Structure 1
């Protein structure tokens, strides 16, 4: 698999299990990339929904995508601290200038004090039935919810405030030269 180049802009494209494009983030700057992990950042980027509506993000965000985990993590830097939005998703692929993944509806919202809540279980159950998720996929997704909660409790990986601050500083250096 090709790896995006550090400092370069890419798109992020979210799909549903049936292959339908769900949501696109117009521009995210690559901060670090390997064959198994991509970390990007954006601020005030346009997001386009599958129905054509669009909106602009409100705060800087550091985004983590993995090829070995069935989730991705968006770390949002707000005035009251770092908030996290975690999507239970397929591992990403990078092609045609975009990080692409399948969004499986289940989300974990994490607050600055590291408390968290699981979201969208009803939406997951609806799409699971509509799109006939196989039982093995259901097990993988719920196992990854548990793995994600473990990382949150340990404050490891994308849940390290120190790491987010370092990556945000790197993002700011790229923005100086835009």
Structure 2
């Protein structure tokens, strides 16, 4: 398995359960890798949708992926505070091409004032039936929603302002290094 180093740029590819490519982020800067996790940053990163539409991310965002949790976390750094977008997804894999995961539709959005919203439950139900998510996958995803909400409620990891500040400052240091 390829392990990118701090300051490297990688692509991220999100797939759906049926194997179809869903979305690609072209250049994510790696801030840290460990045996189990990868932390990176997107800042005006080119995103390509499965239908070919392309757009740039609007603000810096710290991204967190883990090999044992069925979610990934995007901490979007905005003037009004940090907003989070959390994807319920398979643990990531990485190869020479990209960091890859399966997006399982359910999302949790956290607003700067702390409000949480579970999004896309209808899409999850539709895809679960269409693509025959197993009972085991459904159980794992629902367990991981609980883990994710616990992290949010307790300011664990990416949900800590100190975490966001640490990794954003590291990004600023690396991006000015030539």
Tell me what 1:3 maps to.
3
Matched, 1:94 2:68: no
Q: How many residues align?
A: 178
Structure 1 residue 40 displacement after superposition: 0.3
Q: 1:1-178 counterparts in 2 under 5 A?
A: 1-177=1-177
Residue 2 of structure 1 contacts residue 35 of structure 1 at CA under 8 Å; is this kept in 2? no
Structure 1 residue 97 displacement after superposition: 4.0
Q: In structure 2, how many angstroms separate the alpha carbons of the residues matched to 1:58 and 1:2?
A: 29
Residue 65 of structure 1 contacts residue 91 of structure 1 at CA under 8 Å; is this kept in 2? yes
Q: In structure 1, how many angstroms separate the alpha carbons of the residues matched to 2:35 and 2:90?
A: 15
- Per the normalisation by structure 2, the TM-score is 0.98
> Deviations for 1:103-138, whole angstroms, at most 9, x for unmatched residues?
000000001122211000000000001100001100
Q: In structure 2, how many angstroms separate the alpha carbons of the residues matched to 1:152 and 1:2?
A: 31
Runs of 4+ residues deviating >4 angstroms: none
Structure 1 residue 6 displacement after superposition: 1.0
Structure 1 residue 3 displacement after superposition: 1.8
Q: In structure 2, how many angstroms separate the alpha carbons of the residues matched to 1:97 and 1:35?
A: 19
Question: Once superposed, what is the RMSD of the aligned Cα atoms?
Answer: 0.8
Structure 1 residue 177 displacement after superposition: 2.4
* Pair 75,155 (structure 1): closer, same or farther in 2 beyond 3 Å: same
Q: Flag structure 2 segments of 5+ consecutive residues without an equivalent.
A: none
- Per the normalisation by structure 1, the TM-score is 0.98
Q: In structure 1, how many angstroms separate the alpha carbons of the residues matched to 2:8 and 2:148?
A: 28
SS at match of 2:40: strand
Q: Flag structure 1 segments of 5+ consecutive residues without an equivalent.
A: none
SS at match of 1:132: coil
